[in-house]
Chains A and B, each alone.
Chain A
Amino acid sequence: MQHDEAAMLLRRCARGDRTAFRQLYDAEADALHGVARRITGNRALAADALHDAMLQAWRNAAQFNPERGSGWTWLVSLVRYRAIDLASRAGRETLTSDPPDMPDTQPDPYEALAQTREERRLRHCLETLESRPRRLVTLAFLEGLTHAQVAARTGEPLGTVKSLIRRTLLRLRGCMDGSG
């Protein structure tokens, strides 16, 4: 298994090591803030989401279990949960501003998926998908959009969007778990 710096720092945080917490923040805050910013579309909410998630990470570091996922996975789960919650309370339909097809407008949009074996696997599996379903799932995850919000964004019927996203998620699962 590849070295997981965030996991190592979280283990030190669990022992009350404040230096490790600062290192964790320095290493991951920009990326996590970017995640929160994309979901909330709002500077103040993104900052609050990052703050709350990092505070939770500090206080609950002892509950992080590397056997259940990487440090990045744990931190992303915390910040996304908080960002979606804050955005939902604020009415995120009015907050998002980035174009929905951002990931596919770059020459290699999935180049960033290279840090772990899991990410490289995800990249491979995404590249086996057709462009449209891949874009819908990516959009939903990055912006934390509900089925209805994805449908509104793309102008497609809700049932069509929901069906397509579900089938895409199942294909991803099959591919990532090694059966597809």
Chain B
Amino acid sequence: MNGDLPDGVLPDDPDLTAAEYVAGLLTAAEAREVEARAIGDPTLARGILDWQRRLSGLARLARPEPPPDSVWQRLAAVIDPQPATSTPAAQPTRRRLSRYRRRVGTRTPDRRMMLAHLFAGGMIGAAVAFAIVLPKMAISLPAVASLNPVGTPVPAFLVMVTKDGFATIIANAADVQPGNSLELWGLPQGATTPIRLALLPTEGRLRIPAIVPIGTELLVSQEPKGGSPTGQPTGPVVYRGRMVKG
């Protein structure tokens, strides 16, 4: 990378990699490489955080501009979804579920609360921004899961995770007690703290940024309206499923 620089101008300072990553100077491929290294390199990860702290003020130089109202409307629909009043997409949804049931098969729910690994919060770059310690793992995508009511084989949710870092969730006639909400959770393999992914509608489609690897088990709990007040599941698990190769 330094081949075209004048001799002796710059040391091979690894902190410059963090600086260039944060400044946005790296190509997409270089940036992905830095993110992958940062997961196993605390010095690099710390360097990225330090440069974010140093340079983030530059973002104040961008002229503020009100976003379209649709941005908040989409956010509100995800964090506090309203039950659908009509179901024009119900038939296509059922067709998709049937197709995926054939591909994925239905699973007999495991009696134990076994949860698998998952990257919550979406993109690895964002994970670097959070500076959480992530296990090294190979992520194979796309992946899909059908989430069934506990004790039955009929899916109510289909989750599809694609390589662009998004999960699409299709709900098909899910049940929730009046005055409650359904909330989707997962746990990294071996962890004990579930991670909140989204509040779910009972019908329709939802798209969220998330990388959920194959093998992950997903749970849907019934929570007070608006979601768990504690950030952790408080109600019974009513649907569950596991990500498999898509």
Residues of A within 8 A of B (CB): 14-16, 18, 21, 25, 29-31, 33-35, 37-39, 43, 46-47, 50-52, 54-56, 58-60, 62-65, 68-70, 72-74, 76-78, 80-82, 84-85, 88, 102-103, 109-110, 112-113, 115-116, 118-119, 122-123, 137-138, 140-148, 150, 157-159, 162-163, 165-167, 169-170, 172-173, 176
Contact = CB atoms under 8 A, between A and B. Distances in A.
B110 interface: no
A47 B121 contact: no
13 contacts: A15-B229, A18-B226, A25-B72, A30-B67, A52-B209, A56-B209, A68-B49, A73-B56, A122-B55, A123-B57, A143-B24, A163-B5, A167-B9
B138 interface: no
A103 to B, nearest CB: 5
Contacts of B4: 157-159, 162
B231 A62 contact: yes
Contacts of A113: 57-58, 60-61
Contacts of A33: 64-67, 71
Indicate the member of B24, B125, B126, B131 with the most A CB atoms within 10 Å: B24
A59 B71 contact: no
Nearest to B73: A51
Interface in B23-60: 23-28, 31, 49, 51-60
Task: Give chain B's interface residue range (CB within 8 Å of chain A).
Answer: 35 or more
B58 A122 contact: yes
A29 B76 CA distance: 14
- Which of B59, B63, B70, B229 has the most A CB atoms < 10 Å from its CB? B59
B125 to A, nearest CB: 5
Contacts of B139: none
Q: Which 4 A-B pairs have the closest CB atoms?
A: A159-B4, A144-B24, A119-B57, A60-B121
Q: Which residue of B25, B65, B71, B131 has the most chain A CB atoms within 10 A of its CB atom? A: B25
Nearest to B130: A63
B75 A141 contact: no
A80 B24 contact: yes
A46 B209 CA distance: 15
Contacts of A148: 27
Contacts of A55: 75, 78-79, 208-209
B79 A140 contact: no
A69 B60 contact: no
Interface stretch (B10-18, B98-106, B151-159): B10-18
